Structure 1
Amino acid sequence: MAAKAFFKFFLFFFRILLKGIRNQRSFHRKGNSHGPLHQLQRCHSSLVPMCKLEELSQQTLVCDVEGALLKSNSTFPYFMLVAFEGGGILRAFLLLVFYPLLCFVSEEMALKVMVFVSFCGIKEEDFRVGRSVLHKFFLEDVSLESFEVLMRAGRRVGVSGLPRVMVETFLKEYLKVEVVVGRELKMVCGYYVGLMEDERIMMKDGFDLEAVFGDEKTSCDVVGIGSFNNSIIDHHLFSQCKELYRVTETDKRNCHSLPSKNYPRPLIFHDGRLAFIPTPLATLAMFMWVPFGFLLAIFRVLVALSLPYMIALPILSFTGLKLRLKKPNSSPSVSTSNLKKSRGTLYACNHRTLLDPLYLSVALNKPLTAVTYSLSRVSELLAPIKTVRLTRNREEDREMMDKKLRQGDLVICPEGTTCREAFLLRFSPLFVELSDEIVPVAMRTHVSMFHGTTAGGLKCLDPLFFLMNPFPAYEVELLETVVKESDEKSSIDLANFVQGQIGGALGFECTRLTRKDKYLMLAGNEGVVSADTRPQKEVKSEKIRDEILRS
């Protein structure tokens, strides 16, 4: 009887817990839906009636970020990203352990707990998750209908109940929001202590729109978009609104995601290890997978290092690794001129992970020498193929690559760094000066749990994280050989042509951005560790970010 009673109690508790997890509450105290505010005006295609949309270009729009702009009602995934990417796996596990308790406390208390666990002890100077990680996930959660209303406004003000450091980059740099109002975090000696300013102070703070925009008419032409169940609607800025439109839960369920082609500014660079939205259930699945995934990655590495390709390939395929090779109708071969000169074949590929040269070598079933701009000592020691580190001195690098090309086949990634999105960085023209024939190679990768690249983390762990994915996939496509027929084309034009060939095969957009641009945006450095010049590079990173985003 005792066992039966215990089982019933356990089943009852489990049902309550599962219901709380499925609901994924937004962790904001419900606001009062009554008061001197206008009722939501409904229409079929947008949040604001069409007759009002035309007037927005002359008005200031105050937008509730979590309640109206984002589709999801849960802010837990964003704090999990801060905890995992900014604090490490142990901090992320601690936040997950607290999640069941968060479902049974007040929403303001739940928010305070998540902020404390995620931010406590993190140095303000080193916190880059808001700039390099969160904006991607925020953009994927934006409602298309709310976005269209936001873009029609003449001036935009974003009001959020989250810490300002989490949402400021996303709103200002990617949604063109002029003013961001959010919770401020308290600091001691440059470190976050995990505490926020009092919510009542934020609600009553005398924020003057006229002083910010320098226009006396601003306060007269203010329109707001909020939510029925979000306490941020009580912010004093919404009390200044001439009209206020409220988003219901039905509106949120029926809204559409913002397509990437509609982003005001393209999402080219982002960092972080997690390749999925870390909802509570998805995060739990990740932690259950990590021990097995780590052992599986070690096994995959040992098989690749110790066995010949022909034997290792079936075993690795059985463990979940996928490799697909696509060749052109006429297979690339070494020309007669190259045979006379006893030179190898030069392969130029786009850069997705550090494993690009290795997968190409396995796909072709022949040894290659990989030329890299930056490679950790650990990866260099464990690499099953020859690797050569560039010195960044043009003449020395050219002589070294020419020497290696005379000894055998050579593979180079002219971008100089990886890019996760459907964009190609500028190709360095040095490689086209080494050979009269170049074989372009288009690389595609797919991961479901962890990214195998990083700008601000430990690069020696990149292959490990890639191999920890349940089913990491690579597609290697050999393109038609590019032959340098004459010297009429400059090396820059030929490099751009090769970039265009690879971009066309992948469906990627070619850019003029470089490795330096990426690291200045994501890590605040140029990709080379140099402690004595770091403050100067931090200043440069802000300038280069503005230049890139404007372009």
Structure 2
Amino acid sequence: MSGGKQKHAAEKTPTIYRCSGENRENHTVAADMDGALLVGGSSFPYLALIAFDVGGVPRLLLLLLAAPVAALMRRLVSESAGMKVLIFAAFAGVRVSAIKSAASAVLPKHYADDLHPETWRVFSSCGKKCVLTANPRIMVEPFLREYLGADVVLGTEITSFKGFATGLVDAGGVLLGHTKAAALQKAFRNGGTPDVGIGTDFPFMRLCKERYVVPRRAGIRAVSPETLPKPVIFHDGRLVRKPTPLLALLIILWFPVGIILSILRVFIGSVVPISKTRRVVHFLGCPITVKGAIPVDLSSGVVFVCSHRTVLDAVAVSTCLGRMTTTISYSVADFTELLSPIKSSRLTRDRARDAKLIAEILNAGNCLVMCPEGTTCREPYLLRFSSLFAELADRIVPVAVSVKTSLFHGTTARGHKWLDPFFFYMNPRPVYEITFLDLLPADQTCAAGKSSHEVANYVQKLIGETLGFKCTDLTRKDKYRALARTDGLVGGNS
């Protein structure tokens, strides 16, 4: 359909704001993803997330250089030609398994942050759901099926050779206009036509019984991710935000500066005496703010039980205490352990051996800093606390830990964990906020007859309320199964 006819059709078609979402449990909806189900209509940010995840800065740079070429092709040739340029730049030569991994672990968080409230209101009320998009199906399907409950996903198909994407679109072409309409007809050839069509691509909407256009409006606030049928609790990838072309350029320009800065911060932090580390890292642009009263009596073994945000949590807590402590972990890269300015001991997942190790640390009069979640979580949720600490200590100080980063996440489940502290310190101004809560009352410990699980849950609740986080029963194993398809066992990249 030509631009003039599209505009005329849009003027005659009611907007999504006039569509009722009531009594549609038996209805089928077909919604356009780009600019309809999502507030944003650009494919670039999501392709950029995959590009950085599978190829780092070089691949992101290639995609950024291709963007103006794609815009020119879109203007001079067709929308389809421009899309093909972006797909080629992002996917050519990349393992298909790597694209699938990024689509499952990285993109859902960013898609969930961009859902159009009115389209979602109608879409979620319908029984059977179909989504159409010009984007490659391989990158959108995990989110649409797992988090939005889509039954049918129709997207552009890409070709591959011996497990590697060629970057080329298959014979069906990019799903736009009449190609999208043909795909919808084929998908519903044995099941009638959709009851509701939502979008801006009128060839496919004309096949639906009811049609609603989603107008472009500034200032639309996306749906709160917590209201989705399945909120995105676990996600991976190093980039904090969706990269627009401008942000992608800033990331590329900052990256070499960030590498030098992070190396400087990591190595200086590893050699400076722990009593002076907080002042030094603040000077280097990494402030650590403290709330609550720092315990004064550290003469005998105290367990500082923390929420877990990055591999540097125990170090940050120790710098606030101004003294050497010991931390324990299930899996830390050897290089990270070598650079740690505090003592580190590894747990074995053998409960008896781990209990003996912790008891030895405490009996020696050392202070222990531990994160009983067992792994990091980026979102405002707390994972289930292991109860082992409660069985072995009565002097327990809950510590609420939060971090603020602007460009890069300092955690990964699928990548190289030894790079975690470097990525954290690559941010222009990474901020730690440490809140020390009161020493756990004696009547809330195992010494007063409480079970270890009751104590662990109570500490989790205290920290959750302090941070405004939701407590869950999810575990380290749940995280790694969701993101890396492993159990997160010690060794490898886990």
**TM-score, L = length of structure 1:** 0.82
For residues 485 and 170 of structure 1, the distance between their equivalents in structure 2, rounded to whole angstroms, comes to 43
Shift of the 116–29 alpha-carbon distance from structure 1 to 2, 3 Å rule, reads farther
CA contact (8 A) 1:48 1:149 kept: no
Shift of the 530–502 alpha-carbon distance from structure 1 to 2, 3 Å rule, reads closer
Q: Which residue of 2 aligns with 1:234?
A: 203
Q: Which residue of 2 aligns with 1:439?
A: 397
Q: Which residue of 2 aligns with 1:129?
A: 102
Shift of the 530–478 alpha-carbon distance from structure 1 to 2, 3 Å rule, reads closer
Q: Which residue of 2 aligns with 1:464?
A: 422
Q: Which residue of 2 aligns with 1:363?
A: 320
CA contact (8 A) 2:278 2:287 kept: no
CA deviations over 1:305-329 (Å, ceiling 9, x no partner)? 232345443342233111111124x
CA contact (8 A) 1:446 1:473 kept: yes
| SS of corresponding position for 1:88 | helix
CA deviations over 1:287-345 (Å, ceiling 9, x no partner)? 111111111112212321232345443342233111111124x94645xxxx7xxx411
Shift of 1:529: 6.8
Q: What is the alpha-carbon root mean square deviation over aligned residues? A: 2.5
| SS of corresponding position for 2:196 | strand
Any unmatched runs of 5+ in structure 2? none
Is 1:248 the counterpart of 2:232 in the alignment?
Answer: no
For residues 495 and 55 of structure 1, the distance between their equivalents in structure 2, rounded to whole angstroms, comes to 45
Q: Which residue of 2 aligns with 1:373?
A: 330
Shift of 1:56: 3.0
| SS of corresponding position for 1:225 | strand
How many residues are aligned here?
478
The letter of the residue matching 1:56 is R
Is 1:85 the counterpart of 2:64 in the alignment?
Answer: no
| SS of corresponding position for 2:308 | coil
For residues 469 and 259 of structure 1, the distance between their equivalents in structure 2, rounded to whole angstroms, comes to 26
The letter of the residue matching 1:395 is A
Q: Which residue of 1 aligns with 2:266?
A: 301
CA contact (8 A) 1:38 1:245 kept: no
For residues 81 and 406 of structure 2, the distance between their equivalents in structure 1, rounded to whole angstroms, comes to 33
| SS of corresponding position for 1:33 | helix
Q: Which residue of 1 aligns with 2:450?
A: 489
Shift of the 69–405 alpha-carbon distance from structure 1 to 2, 3 Å rule, reads same
For residues 240 and 430 of structure 2, the distance between their equivalents in structure 1, rounded to whole angstroms, comes to 12
| SS of corresponding position for 1:477 | strand
For residues 324 and 475 of structure 1, the distance between their equivalents in structure 2, rounded to whole angstroms, comes to 5
Shift of the 38–282 alpha-carbon distance from structure 1 to 2, 3 Å rule, reads closer
Larger radius of gyration between Structure 1 and Structure 2 = 1
CA deviations over 1:177-215 (Å, ceiling 9, x no partner)? 22111112212122211112232766424524374xxxx
Which structure 2 residues correspond to residues 107-122 of structure 1 after superposition, within 5 A? 107-122=79-94
Q: Which residue of 1 aligns with 2:461?
A: 500
For residues 83 and 31 of structure 1, the distance between their equivalents in structure 2, rounded to whole angstroms, comes to 35
Shift of 1:373: 0.8
CA contact (8 A) 2:373 2:385 kept: yes
| SS of corresponding position for 2:186 | coil
Shift of 1:530: 7.8
Shift of the 353–257 alpha-carbon distance from structure 1 to 2, 3 Å rule, reads same
Shift of 1:412: 1.0
The letter of the residue matching 2:250 is A
CA contact (8 A) 2:307 2:373 kept: yes
For residues 37 and 242 of structure 1, the distance between their equivalents in structure 2, rounded to whole angstroms, comes to 16
For residues 62 and 225 of structure 1, the distance between their equivalents in structure 2, rounded to whole angstroms, comes to 6
Which structure 2 residues correspond to residues 14-29 of structure 1 after superposition, within 5 A? none
Q: Provide the identity percentage.
A: 38
Shift of the 32–386 alpha-carbon distance from structure 1 to 2, 3 Å rule, reads farther
Any unmatched runs of 5+ in structure 1? 1-27, 535-551
Shift of 1:240: 2.6
Shift of 1:157: 0.8
CA contact (8 A) 2:312 2:421 kept: yes
Shift of the 240–353 alpha-carbon distance from structure 1 to 2, 3 Å rule, reads same
Q: Which residue of 2 aligns with 1:3?
A: none
Is 1:385 the counterpart of 2:358 in the alignment?
Answer: no
For residues 530 and 380 of structure 1, the distance between their equivalents in structure 2, rounded to whole angstroms, comes to 14
Q: Which residue of 2 aligns with 1:49?
A: 18
For residues 476 and 25 of structure 2, the distance between their equivalents in structure 1, rounded to whole angstroms, comes to 38
Shift of 1:455: 0.4
The one of 453, 466, 483 aligned to 1:522: 483
For residues 347 and 256 of structure 1, the distance between their equivalents in structure 2, rounded to whole angstroms, comes to 39
The one of 122, 128, 131 aligned to 1:155: 128
For residues 394 and 7 of structure 2, the distance between their equivalents in structure 1, rounded to whole angstroms, comes to 75
CA deviations over 1:361-413 (Å, ceiling 9, x no partner)? 10110101010111001101111111101111111111111111222111111
Shift of 1:53: 3.3
Shift of the 529–207 alpha-carbon distance from structure 1 to 2, 3 Å rule, reads farther
The letter of the residue matching 2:67 is Y
| SS of corresponding position for 1:104 | helix
- Of the structure 1 ranges 70-79 and 193-202, higher mean CA displacement relative to structure 2 is found in 193-202
